Amino acid sequence: MKFEITKNELLNKLNFASRVATSKSLISALSGILIEADDVLNIYSTDLETSIKSSLKAKIIEKGRAVVPAKIFINILRNFPESKVSVALDINTNQLKVMCEKSVFNLNTFAIDEYPEFPTTTEKTKFKIDFDIFKKLLNKVIKSASGEESRAILTGILIEVDNSSLDEEDKSSSSYIKIVGTDSYRLAFIEEKIDYSGDPIKVVVPNKVLDNIVKSDYTGKTTEINIEENQISFLLANEDGTETMIISRLLSGKFPEYKQLIPKEFKHNIILDKDKVNEVVKRTSSISQDNIPIKIEIGDGKMYVSMNIKEVGNSSEEVDIAYAEGKIEIAFNPYFLLEGINMLDEEKFIFSVEESLKPVLIRNVKAKNLIYLLMPIRIS
């Protein structure tokens, strides 16, 4: 195997592929990345649950394959100047020779037969979605997924496609993609109309897979999603013929029935200024530590935001609001509250409250396709 390519082109693809390379497996080769010089240069990585294959243009001098240590190879490339990189495999020593200008490295490689084959796919339930829209939808919800493996199903994101909408006023027969994330303390939901006429879809995808898609350097227009019985694949195809394929297992288990968790009505629906409330909560919680809650008192046209930490001190700030109903006292994890406010797109938002220990709903005033449900924290 021998090829030539510019440093940044190779480094960008290796950085992306290395997101799923793992050093925690008993199979040492999984800490590596498989490089295949064929008609194009292919980069493979896997942790046995998620697999990535990316292709890119390179000058292929000799075809071949090698599994290289991911971290070491990436560290070497990072320290090269932006220039042409030459990579060659010595089949007698199984060492990879990496050269850039006057620098020369010889790296030991893993046994090629220890590296798993890339999963095969069967076209089953497939649809396309505008990549920028898909990325925007994912960005709204992925932070709400759980990071605790004890409840594995909550580490995933629900993707649902059918012809129903959470907006009860929408009587159209359009299809919608609905994306939901929850860790049981908060729930984020967003939906968007898409062009789809197939059977309803309901799958739970590992959050880290969707996070990889969000953080990819893909600049194409659409992503093609194919759903099979136990796996899902995302095809990101570029105009120059190169592409990235991400294949992941689907999570099994019962995802919470989110529609049943979202209250239909609230006693109090308060319209607030997004930027103003965001700044006040951020300032007041700047002394926060160890998930100390932020307290909000609403009444007589005022919102009073405060935090009290015995070992540190206290902070407070008052905001004028349009509210003249009964007094409300409620407390939240400040980071969760800020995430909910920041996912909104409009200048004003609706803060819906039933009572101090029941979930609140945060949503845009005009657009009805996005909601954030947040559980309060009990305070003495």
pLDDT tens digits for range 112-167: 999 999 999 998 899 999 999 999 999 999 999 999 888 899 999 999 999 988 87
302-309: strand order across its sheet? 313-320, 302-309, 294-299, 328-332
Q: How does pLDDT run across 53-87, given as a tens digit for each residue?
A: 999 999 999 999 999 999 999 999 999 999 999 99
Strand intervals (E) in 172-221: 175-182, 186-194, 201-206
Please tell me the predicted confidence (pLDDT) of residue 86.
97
Question: Which value, to the nearest 10 degrees, does the dihedral of the CA atoms of residues 199, 135, 261, 268 take?
Answer: -130
The reply to whether domains 2-114 and 263-374 share a CATH topology is yes
% of the chain residues with pLDDT over 90:
81
From the number of C-beta atoms within 10 Å of its C-beta (0-12, 13-18, 19+), residue 154 rates as buried
Please tell me the predicted confidence (pLDDT) of residue 171.
61
Q: How does pLDDT run across 276-319, given as a tens digit for each residue?
A: 999 999 999 998 877 789 999 999 899 999 999 888 999 999 99
Share the mean pLDDT of the chain.
Answer: 93
175-182: strand order across its sheet? 201-206, 156-162, 175-182, 186-194, 370-374, 360-364, 348-353, 268-273
Please tell me the predicted confidence (pLDDT) of residue 35.
97
Q: Which helix (H) or strand (E) holds 23?
A: none
Protein fold of 263-374: DNA Polymerase III; Chain A, domain 2 (3.10.150)
95-100: strand order across its sheet? 59-62, 2-6, 84-90, 95-100, 103-108
Tokens of 271: 């319209």
Q: Rounded to an integer, what distance in angstroms lies between the CA atom of residue 255 and that of residue 200?
A: 16
Protein fold of 125-260: DNA Polymerase III; Chain A, domain 2 (3.10.150)
- 235 strand-pairing partners: 224, 245
pLDDT (mean) for 326-354: 95
Contact at 8 Å (CB) between 216 and 18?
no
Q: Quote the pTM value.
A: 0.91
Instruction: Please report, for the chain, the start and end positions of each structural domain, with discontinuous segments joined by +.
Output: 2-114, 125-260, 263-374
Give 94's pLDDT tier (boundaries 50, 70, 90).
very high
Q: How does pLDDT run across 169-209, given as a tens digit for each residue?
A: 666 778 999 999 999 999 999 999 999 988 999 999 999 99
Please tell me the predicted confidence (pLDDT) of residue 24.
75
Length of the chain: 380
| Helical H segments across the chain, by residue range | 7-17, 70-78, 131-141, 207-214, 258-261, 274-284, 334-342
Tokens of 288: 């926060």
The superfamily (CATH) of domain 2-114 is: DNA Polymerase III, subunit A, domain 2 (3.10.150.10)
Contact at 8 Å (CB) between 79 and 54?
no
Please tell me the predicted confidence (pLDDT) of residue 107.
96
140 φ/ψ angles, rounded to the nearest 5 degrees = -75, -25
Q: How does pLDDT run across 5-51, given as a tens digit for each residue?
A: 999 999 999 999 998 887 777 788 899 999 999 999 999 999 999 99
Please tell me the predicted confidence (pLDDT) of residue 238.
87
Number of neighbours of residue 131 by Cβ within 10 angstroms: 19
Asked if pLDDT for residue 93 goes beyond 80, the answer is yes
Residue 274's contacts (CB-CB under 8 Å, 6 or more residues apart) are: 341, 344, 346, 347, 348, 349
Residue 311's contacts (CB-CB under 8 Å, 6 or more residues apart) are: none
Q: Rounded to an integer, what distance in angstroms lies between the CA atom of residue 89 and that of residue 136?
A: 41
Q: Which helix (H) or strand (E) holds 303?
A: strand 302-309
